[in-house]
A and B are shown apart, each in its own frame.
Chain A
Amino acid sequence: MADILIVDDQDRYLELCRAAIPEHRYRGPVRNLAEALDVLSRARGRVDCVLLDVHFDIPAEQLVGYEPGLSERALGDLRKRQGLLILEELRSRYPDLPVIVMTSREELALERELGGEEFTYFLDDDYVDARALQGQLASIVELRRSGESDGPVFWGRSMAMRRIRQRLSVLARGRLPVVLLGPTGSGKSLIARHYVHARSGRSGQFVAVDLSTIPTDLMAAHLFGSVKGAYTGSVGDRTGAFEAAHQGTLFLDEVGNLSTDAQKMLLSVLQEGKITRLGDLKERPVDVKLVVATNEDLAQRVRAGTFRADLYMRLNPATSVVLPALSERSLDTAELLTFCLEQALERPYLRELLSEYRLAAKLEGTRVRIVCGEGAPDPELHTLVLLFPERALRLLRQHHWPGNLREFAMTAENAVLFALAEMTAAGGGDRADVVTVRPKLVKDLLGALPEAASGPSEKGSLAIRVTLAPQDTLNKVSVDCETQYFTELYLRNDGDFAAMAELLLGDREHARKIQLRFNQLGLKVRELKERL
């Protein structure tokens, strides 16, 4: 079931969609841009697709582009192309929200040139056909959903993560090493195993080595293997990680910890495609897709002389992929939480706890529905609802997450565990079929985490560069700072003005004010979208 917003000056599309395509949930119809933005802002990323009419017979003052004194002809023109003006506004705030414009491209071709927006769709025929629309909706929703996760890897809906995924899918197939950068817990190892290796087309194994856990003097033997007597205590021949990953993928985590000897040997492997076990003379060919990860600045290590420059260049740093910290992905919180909860509920101990609760509450069936950020839905037969109310979700959004995805997943799992335990102990709440994760429980869980109470750490702060000239006015300096601040916030919030309004003014409803200030500062949405 998808969540679809209808933007239409009439009720026809809603009536017909409900009758002919009942498998989805419909919101609206909303009659103008302001109402559409209001619903989208409240929905916080849960709308999967917008159905947008083109011709709007609505009061003049509600039209996008309306100015007092416009002639009747100009107003008629605005009404005729109102859908396209609404589309433009939606795009500036929700660049990757799928929108189906309820007309054909052919019908609009003479009115204006339409860019090939990636997430804008048109009908094949102006005379709307239910089956065609049903198919179109299904494929859009499938595409949107399929892009959210790959096994245990959660990508989310942000444009930045989509680009990373796209880039990695290309790098995975190539022969060159892949460098994954990003803070601890941002998912580097999961991505290496479940995305890069899975798409590499290689038949060999995935082998992971965390270099921060291996003593320096054993590192070379661990990676390249050894023969009996190669070092004190070497009692037999040993296969190294490179050989184990032959025709597969070798993931070297914390590559900055590579010892000097191992750096030299790794360089040789990358150049020759052969390894020599420690203490051996025989060269052995290895064909390995190398993925390295670090949360350190390797270039800085090169400058400091602790990482070989020639090895650094061999690692293909130009194509490094930087995974963002979780605090920069707040748009995805509800979806990520659902994803983590689904995974947590697969764990045997939680399944057992669920069974115990069902037994205690005399509930039948095994289905669990996860609801995040909304009220409890109506009871469904044989369905237990795991409810994460909006207030609890807000706490997750506000937390800084220094441990990133790993910390988030653990918090989600703990939340389910304690909520279930509480409900079981209490013999059920107001509704036995709803297990609610109380905001207080989330607050307690977050309070126990380091840095939770101290607010954003230095990593979460914004760095602003100010260059002062003697003749600069205070206003110019202030505008410079504000411009940089707005730019950073826009990028961090994936272009979501409502999220910026919530942060700056404490109210998502003030997105328009933020956008006005954005325009006053001379910032161009189109240019910044390129950087998302």
Chain B
Amino acid sequence: MPLTKMPAPTLDALLDHTSRLKHDLGKYVRFQGRWLPPDATVEARREALAADLLHTRRGPDGSVDAATVWAEFSGVLTGQVPLAGEPIDLSDDPDVAAILAAMAALGPVIGDLRADRLDAAGLDAGERAADDVAEAVRRLVDRVRSLVRERRS
């Protein structure tokens, strides 16, 4: 179902869901990496990417990686878990599709980081994909928010 045709209560619930996605994943999937100076060493970049992707959400009980965080949200966006009582499938939405693609690209990067074997090419690809996730999440939330505002006004 396209965003524009979604009923208001579903759209409200979607704004809540995507806002949490932004807070839990979009903000932290590229958090340390964004603070690095432009001339950061490969090692510093790798460390930052590892911190961002392997410890995306931190809490008193430990940390979880980006793939696990995404798994909590993806079900709703792809229609496998209902939202406000009914499933919505946004797989064809350009931003959700971009997140799905970038998260798929991050899978092997996360594996390589865990095994401490991420090479320079993998590092570049990982940073690009993490950037893509962060930006696509931001665009998705912005679009949902402006639709909610339109409806409310």
Given contacts A110-B15, A110-B145, contact A127 B58 (CB under 8 A): no
CB pair A16 B32 closer than 8 Å? yes
Q: Does B148 make an interface contact (CB < 8 A)? A: yes
What string of 1s and 0s marks CB contacts (under 8 Å) between A129-158 and chain B? Answer: 110000000000000000000000000000
CB pair A20 B148 closer than 8 Å? no
Identify which of A11, A55, A130 contacts B34 (C-beta below 8 A): A130
Residue of B nearest to A58 (CB): B60
What string of 1s and 0s marks CB contacts (under 8 Å) between B1-37 and chain A? Answer: 0000000000000010001001100111011101100
Q: In the docked arrangement, what's the CA distance between A10 and B59, Å?
A: 7
Given contacts A55-B23, A127-B27, contact A19 B35 (CB under 8 A): yes
How distant is A366 from chain B, measured CB to nearest CB, in Å? 34
Q: Does B110 make an interface contact (CB < 8 A)? A: no
B17-71, CB < 8 A from A: 19, 22-23, 26-28, 30-32, 34-35, 58-60
Q: In the docked arrangement, what's the CA distance between A312 and B23, Å?
A: 63
Residue of A nearest to B135 (CB): A127
Given contacts A110-B15, A110-B145, A110-B148, contact A126 B34 (CB under 8 A): no
Name 20 extra pairs, CB < 8 A, besides A16-B35, A127-B134, A130-B34. Answer: A10-B59, A11-B58, A12-B28, A16-B31, A16-B32, A20-B35, A55-B23, A57-B60, A110-B145, A110-B149, A126-B22, A126-B26, A126-B27, A126-B138, A127-B26, A127-B31, A128-B31, A128-B35, A129-B34, A130-B35
Interface residues on B, range: 20 to 34
A457-500, CB < 8 A from B: none
CB pair B148 A127 closer than 8 Å? no
CB pair B35 A127 closer than 8 Å? no
Identify which of B30, B59, B149 contacts A127 (C-beta below 8 A): B30
Given contacts A10-B58, A110-B15, A110-B149, contact A127 B138 (CB under 8 A): yes
A73-114, CB < 8 A from B: 106-107, 110
Q: In the docked arrangement, what's the CA distance between A12 and B23, Å?
A: 14
What string of 1s and 0s marks CB contacts (under 8 Å) between B137-153 and chain A? Answer: 01000000100110000
Instruction: Identify 23 residue pairs between A and B in the complex whose beta-carbon atoms are under 8 Å apart, listed by A's number.
Output: A10-B59, A12-B31, A12-B58, A16-B32, A16-B35, A20-B35, A55-B23, A57-B59, A57-B60, A110-B148, A126-B26, A126-B27, A126-B138, A127-B26, A127-B27, A127-B30, A127-B31, A127-B34, A127-B134, A128-B34, A129-B34, A129-B35, A130-B35
